[in-house]
Amino acid sequence: MTGRPRDASIDDRVLQSTRELLAEVGWDELSVRTVAARAGVGRASINRRWSSKAELVLHAVLGAEPDLGPFEGTDMAGWVAWVVRGSHELFHRPDVRAAVPGLLTALRENEQLRTALWAGFSGPAAELYAQRTGPAQSHDAPSVTLRSHSGRTDADLDARALIAMAAGAALFTSTIATEDDSPELLERIAELLTAAVLPERQGPSTRAAAPNTDTTSPSRS
C-alpha cells in the first residue's frame, strides 16, 4: 500500500515564500514558522521535506538541480562565459545576498551539507566542460586522460578551478568590491579565464606585452 503522493504545490509555495522572505527580512529573521505562515502550510510539512533552515534556503535559492540549459550549444569559450555570467547573476540576486552570511556559517557547521552543495553546484557543469575537451580538441588543449593524485582528470580540475574562481569573484564583488562591480570588470574576468584555457582566444587586453630584449645602452649625442 502506498501513501498519498507528495503535493508539489506545497514545495513551490514554500520555496517561493522562502525567497521572498529572505529578500524582505534577511536570514536572521527567517524561520520555519514565518515561511509556513507565508506559504499557508503547516510547519510539519516543511520539517518533513527539509532537515534544516540551511537546507531549505539552499533549495530555495539554487533549486533542486542546476540549470544546464544555458550551456547547450556552447563551446569552451561559451562555457566559461556562462559560468562567469551565471555566477554573477546568482550572487547579485537579493535573496541570495541576504542568505550568504547565514549560509556560510551554517555550512561551516554542517560538513555533509557543504559537501553536497559543492558537488551539486560544480559537478554537472564540470562534466559538460570535460565533454568539450574531448577528441576534437587541439593538442594544445588540456588532456582529459591525465589524472591528478586525487584521481580527477585534468579537465575536471580545470573546470572546478574555473567555477571556484568565477563564483569567488562574484561573491567578492557582490559583498566587498562593490565599487568595482561593473560590466567592464565582469567582461575582463571572462576574458582572463577564457585566455587561461584557450590561449588562441586571447584579446589585446589579456595578452602580455612582449619583453624588451634590446639590452644595448641608448646612444649619447
Q: Kindly give the parts of the chain with pLDDT less than 70.
A: 1-6, 134-152, 200-221
**Angstrom distance (rounded) from CA 36 to CA 40:** 6
| Number of neighbours of residue 177 by Cβ within 10 angstroms | 11
**Angstrom distance (rounded) from CA 148 to CA 165:** 19
pTM of structure: 0.78
**What does the pLDDT read at residue 5?**
58
Q: Which residues contact 14 (CB under 8 A, 6 or more apart)?
A: 35, 36, 39, 41, 45, 46, 49, 56, 60
**What does the pLDDT read at residue 67?**
87
The fold of 9-61 is Arc Repressor Mutant, subunit A (1.10.10)
Angle subtended at Cα 126 by Cα 101 and Cα 185, rounded to the nearest 5 degrees: 55
**What does the pLDDT read at residue 209?**
41
Instruction: Give me the residue spans of the domains in the chain.
Output: 9-61, 65-201
**What does the pLDDT read at residue 201?**
58
